[in-house]
Amino acid sequence: MNKIYEEFFKIGIVPVVALKDASDAEPLAKALRDGGLPCAEVTFRTEAAQDAIRSMTEKFPDMLIGAGTVLTRGQVDAAVLAGAEFIVSPGFNPKVVSYCLEKEIPVIPGCSSPSDIEAAIELGLDVVKFFPAEASGGIEAIRAMSAPYRKIKFMPTGGIHAGNIKRYLHVPNVLACGGSWMVKSERIKHKDWDGITSLTKEAVFAMLGFTIRHVGIHCENEAEALDAGGRFAELIGAEKNVLNSSVVSGTYMKWVKCPGRGARGHIAVGTDSVERAVYQLTKRGFGFDLSSGVYDTCGCLKSIYFAEEIAGFAIHLIQNECREGV
């Protein structure tokens, strides 16, 4: 897969931006970056688009900036000249798509029907924009089209918001989602950059879906684990379940029979995407023990330990069981 598409997957949410004033581009890009989404699709709905893209790419070269609502080859040229790294169009225009392929710039055309998808496949594409997502049938439509077109990845855009983003990202053939709820025009108009950063952070945490899955407490031996597990289960009115390496009280508490990883024990943090969580947390300064990574049969990371302990507890991420079948 193209490296830019791999980056889309890790980021998960692509903010779709419309700017009337190019001077807003730099503070908006910073707000998105600080909030955890170092990416933007700047739409050619306004005359400020080219200058906005140029400003973002020059000030924040580490961000992934592209052009959206691209309808003509001239707009492709303008976007590329400004530094755009990818092109997004609302529909499937074979002339625009072919032109992008000739210029070797990733292009994601809008497709909402099997005919559109087959036209994209004919030109060698494997990622398309599903637009307008909600109006075109939403998740069920994507799942239906994913059955015959299993190698196609979708970027749903249109009607995506904080309330449905997780359900879209749980669909295996969804690469990432485009959304504008964190960059509404009113917030940009009033230069509410702190508000945009806050909404962006909320979007990221909603996408990651962090939960405490269990806490493992080290015991000196099996007898102590059996006693502690039994007493705690009785305390909370839960069942005691004896496993090979631990005794489980209820759902979250594990009493480990022999000391293992972590001076005092370990804490398992569930997430809807271990890979996206690693990406986000690495950018925030957290380190990981790469040798501890466990992968599923598809090569996807499903668990990994942090490099450092917290108060003597080893922390590891584990994949929530949330992805839908197709």
Other C-beta atoms closer than 10 Å to the C-beta of 30 total: 17
Element (H or E) spanning 253, and its range? strand 253-256
Which is catalytic among the residues 10, 41, 254, 257? 41
Distance of alpha carbon 296 from the chain centroid: 19
What predicted TM-score, i.e. pTM, was given to this entire model?
0.93
Intra-chain end-to-end CA distance of the chain, in Å: 21
Q: What is the pLDDT of residue 326?
A: 36
DSSP state of 134: G
Q: How confident is residue 113, by pLDDT bands cut at 50, 70 and 90? A: very high
- 271 exposed, middle or buried (CB, 10 Å; 0-12, 13-18, 19+)? buried
Q: What is the pLDDT of residue 298?
A: 87
* Residue matched to tokens 């806490």: 215
Cβ 209 vs Cβ 271: under 8 Å:
yes
78-103 tens-digit pLDDT: 999 999 999 999 999 999 999 999 99
User: Annotated catalytic, 41?
Assistant: yes
Q: How confident is residue 322, by pLDDT bands cut at 50, 70 and 90? A: low
Which is catalytic among the residues 10, 85, 129, 275? 129
Other C-beta atoms closer than 10 Å to the C-beta of 117 total: 22
Helix orientation angle between 25-35 and 193-208, rounded to the nearest 10 degrees: 30
DSSP state of 157: B
User: Annotated catalytic, 6?
Assistant: no
Stronger pLDDT, 231 or 323, i.e. the higher one: 231
List, in sequence order, the alpha helices (H) in 158-252: 165-169, 185-189, 193-208, 222-236
**CA–CA dist 32, 39 (Å, integer):** 7
Contacts of 209 (CB under 8 A, 6+ apart): 166, 270, 271, 272, 320, 322
Cβ 281 vs Cβ 258: under 8 Å:
no
161-180 tens-digit pLDDT: 999 999 999 999 999 999 99
Using the predicted structure, report yes or no on whether residue 217 has a pLDDT greater than 70: yes
40-62 tens-digit pLDDT: 999 999 999 999 999 999 999 99
Domains, the chain, with CATH or none: 3-207 (3.20.20.70), 211-319 (3.10.180.10)
